[in-house]
Structure 1
């Protein structure tokens, strides 16, 4: 997490800097808007700008837009600057932090921008297999495609690969391809030369050059515009990039990691993703299982999050009851680890006792944990039953399956043809024709009030 603080570094803003550094951020300082823009152009990038609310935030945001630099901005100032805070938000600031700074608020903003926690905690065999493969390939320069549902920890795995690679001491640069508008993404990746477009008042270094000698993570690569994919393919193949408006290629030495929560093979078939780019990215595929398929991780992460948020909020030690632990294992967790973390953070804050029971835990939509676990269990049973029935039909002809369905329905209605036809959604005439055909073939067809004998 790289934080660039813009403004006079004194007093309360200096305290905010210390808190950010204690929260794990790498902090740089620019006393003016001009120096901030020059710093970003030079490739000393940032993941977040923390700007004194008394600065001309509208001018800074306009300068960022003009030079196609996409970085979230948070304003900060003393609580009496209410009008300035409103103006900053209207100008485009994502958030406003009042000063003097609050340690928890600073940490929350940093966490929101960083998105994924740095902890890499796993216990389940399904995840152990993924980590074992990651350990095998970490030391190579092979491109890696990390796939899985949203919230499964793809970026955490990417950071793990970098930390265990021979490039660990070099930069790890991440760019979210889904979060940056198409018009800005090319400049974010490859940079631009002075005069390349209106507003380009100087050379700007892009993410490829920022990551030189290190690792570049292309997060949610499936959302990249198709036209930009060809330029990315050349950069990966030849390790050469072209700045927007540049006259000669720039060599780079980086390792490429990419993530996607979509099936890229389907995207190729749909024509929204280049097949040759997929081949370049997918030298090794690390597929992360969904959290619901990692019960060992649910248990370990649940205990970890409860302890973490009890401590962070200055509360007494809290534990999950055995019933809550069972219910957590049975919940569907469509948002995976991120949803589990938010759910348990909320449970810690709202719990009235040191023992957190299932009734004290609710999902984001308000559904009780026990209800969600029960619904998920029923859904899993129905899916399993459907799969069993589907497998039982394999190897049989459509005519055989149709005959059994018709006769079973007739059996259910005790031979009532009209009722059976309504259930099957066919006309009574069609049903009679089918039954006559079955009788001619030697199959027993029950009459009204009769049932077939059951073995």
Structure 2
């Protein structure tokens, strides 16, 4: 990952840089905010650490105005509590006290880069998928990775990059669903100075950042059709046009794309260009759902228990036999992501010598699909609540019922737009437009989850 340090960090810049580099980061330093912005425009970064004495609010405002999406962490002497408060209010994601602590910096870097990219599996079905992925990794062919939400599509993409001849170059991921439509073109292709309001200087996009490496277009089925034509040209001609530019820029990038939708259906519906689909679909990797790889459930559960036990400094507890049966019978609509969340919650709730059924909260299984009586009872309770609420729908317009359903689902998903859209069966773009409408009407909308980017729209 690329780390940009702005300022001197109270003379601790050398120590912070050495810690970051020991964790695999490539470090650049800028004296002040204008110099830091120039680095971000021309070279990009995955994380910014800024001296708390610098103009943090000015940096955050400039990033928003120029549509640069990068997390910012403030650093300052440990005793200055008021500076920490000001930094967070100005928009910094975290505050790191100085002198720097190696474990704290490592934790921040891990949170930003999501360093855990190991693929844990035991089931032969997943083994076959990985074998195919490794077989095609060393080519330059575009690969379409499909599968339900939460199956690990980005992990497979990183696996392919690491096994390819481009592994010494950058892997750049862009979530097409999480970035509003009006920002995505600039995010991908960059822009020239004056291309739009706030474009105060030239900025390179993700294509140029990934030069010589791999570009992952995550949830590409959510990309607007008009932008798809520009992407098609970039793939065919191996060159891009920055927004507002008139000179093409040559690029050498291997394209990987993911989607949780049936892409052929999207082509038939006219929401995805057929010619772009065939350009991307040289090879298809279809990831099996977690319920289709049952031998992996226990292995992954143990892995997540160990991870979150250590992360939270809690005593080690094994899963009880009853819990293992519950996990094996569950439908796992959210796949590995749902299992991970379930295990994280269980680690926090467990109190005995082992993790028992009282610490397991399962979601989403209709009555009858899971034979565990606790799950059936929970599902029946949910059905009763929905029945009670149904009587309150009388007298409401269809729009009001729809609004309540969307807001309640979003609250259930803790603000995660992508998960809510999947549950509701609508596109992330449709959900975003609905939420913008509700905001304009003065209705409270749950804020985005921490890992999602929602700018200017919600």
With the shorter chain as reference, the TM-score category is 0.7 to 0.9
Shift of 1:268: 2.6
Q: Tell me if 1:358 matches 2:349.
A: no
Q: CA RMSD in A?
A: 3.2
Q: CA deviation at 1:234?
A: 0.1
CA pair 78-294 structure 1, distance change in 2 beyond 3 A: farther
C-alpha deviation, 1:246, in angstroms: 2.1
Cα distance change, pair 112–338 in 1 and its aligned pair in 2 (3 A) = farther
Q: How does 1:60-139 map to 2 (within 5 A)?
A: 60-78=59-77, 81=80, 83-97=82-96, 106=105, 109-115=108-114, 117-139=116-138
Q: Which has the larger radius of gyration?
A: 1
Q: How far did residue 106 of structure 1 move? A: 4.8
Q: Is residue 358–residue 369 contact of structure 1 (8 Å, CA) maintained in 2? A: no
Give 1:158 shift: 0.3
Against the structure 1 CA distance between its residues 126 and 72, is the aligned structure 2 distance closer, same or farther, given a 3 Å change threshold? same
Q: What corresponds to 1:303 in structure 2?
A: 302
**1:352-391 per-position Cα deviation (integer Å, ceiling 9, x unaligned):** 24422233333479x999556658999xxxxxxxxxxxxx
Q: Cα 1:166–1:148, aligned 2, differ >3 Å: closer, same or farther?
A: same
Distance 1:29 1:375, change over 3 A: farther
User: Matches of 1:97 and 1:370 in 2, distance apart?
Assistant: 45
CA displacement at 1:169 relative to structure 2: 1.2
Rounded Cα–Cα distance in structure 2 between residues aligned with 1:321 and 1:102: 37
Distance (whole Å) between structure 2 residues aligned to residue 40 and residue 369 of structure 1: 54
C-alpha deviations, 1:243-279, integer Å up to 9, x for none?
2222221111111001112222333333322222111
Distance in 2 of aligned mates of 1:101 and 1:374: 50
Taking the TM superposition and a 5 Å limit, the aligned residue runs for 1:233-244 are 233-244=232-243
1:70, 1:180 within 8 Å by CA — same for their partners in 2? no
Worse-superposed segment, 229-238 or 74-83: 74-83
Which residue is equivalent to 1:37? 37
Distance 1:96 1:271 in 2: 47
Closer, same or farther in 2 for the Cα pair 1:109/1:271, shift >3 Å?
A: farther
Task: Give CA-to-partner distance per residue, 1:29-54, whole Å, 9 cap, x none.
Answer: 333211211111222x2223233333
Q: Distance in 2 between matches of 1:151 and 1:190?
A: 28
* Displacement of 1:161: 0.3
Is the 1:241–1:252 Cα contact (8 Å) retained in structure 2?
Answer: yes
- Judge which range, 156-165 or 190-199, deviates more: 190-199
Q: 1:81 to 1:164 in 2, by over 3 A?
A: same
Secondary structure at the counterpart of residue 9 of structure 2: coil
In 2, distance between residues paired with 1:342 and 1:358?
15
Q: CA 1:126 to 1:194, structure 2 compared with 1: closer, same or farther past 3 Å?
A: same
Q: Distance in 2 between the 1:104 and 1:339 partners? A: 28
2:140 matched residue in structure 1: 141
Tell me if structure 2 keeps the 8 A contact 1:117–1:156: no
Which residue is equivalent to 1:184? 183
Query: Cα offset for 1:230?
Result: 0.8
Distance 1:353 1:65 in 2: 48
1:242 Cα deviation after fit: 0.9
Q: 1:239 to 1:79 in 2, by over 3 A?
A: same
CA distance in 1, matches of 2:243, 2:175: 19
Matched-pair contact (CA < 8 Å) for 1:116–1:153: no
Q: Indicate conservation of the 8 Å contact 1:330/1:374, yes or no.
A: no
Instruction: Report the CA distance between 1:159 and its aligned residue.
Output: 0.5
Q: Deviations over 1:151-182 (max 9, x none)?
A: 21111100100111111111111112222232
CA separation of 1:328/1:107 partners in 2, compared to 1, >3 Å: closer, same or farther?
farther
In structure 2, what is the Cα distance between the partners aligned to 1:16 and 1:361? 40
Give the Cα–Cα distance (whole angstroms) in 1 for the partners of residues 338 and 101 of structure 2.
25
Q: 1:13 to 1:148 in 2, by over 3 A?
A: farther
Q: Is the 8 A contact 2:10 2:51 kept in 1?
A: no
Specify whether residues 10 and 18 from structure 1 end up closer, same or farther in structure 2 by C-alpha distance, changes over 3 A only.
farther
Could you tell me how far apart the structure 1 residues matched to 2:160 and 2:7 are? Answer: 36
Moved more, 105-114 or 278-287: 105-114
Aligned to 1:312: 311
- What is the aligned partner in structure 1 of residue 217 from structure 2? 218
Moved more, 128-137 or 107-116: 107-116
Shift of residue 342, structure 1, vs aligned partner: 2.6
- Alignment map for 1:362-401 (pairs within 5 Å): 362-363=361-362
Distance change (3 Å), C-alpha of 1:108 and 1:148? farther
SS of 2:298's partner is: helix
Shift of residue 334 of structure 1?
Answer: 2.5
Structure 2: runs of 5 or more not aligned? 381-458
Distance (Å, rounded) in 2 between the aligned partners of 1:251 and 1:300: 45
Contact 1:69 1:184 in 2 (8 A): no
Assess if the C-alpha contact under 8 Å between 2:186 and 2:242 holds in 1. Answer: yes
Partners of 2:2 and 2:183 in 1: how far apart?
Answer: 20
Q: TM-score, normalised by structure 2?
A: 0.73
Q: Distance in 2 between matches of 1:361 and 1:101?
A: 38
1:340 and 1:30, CA in 2 relative to 1: closer, same or farther beyond 3 A?
Answer: farther
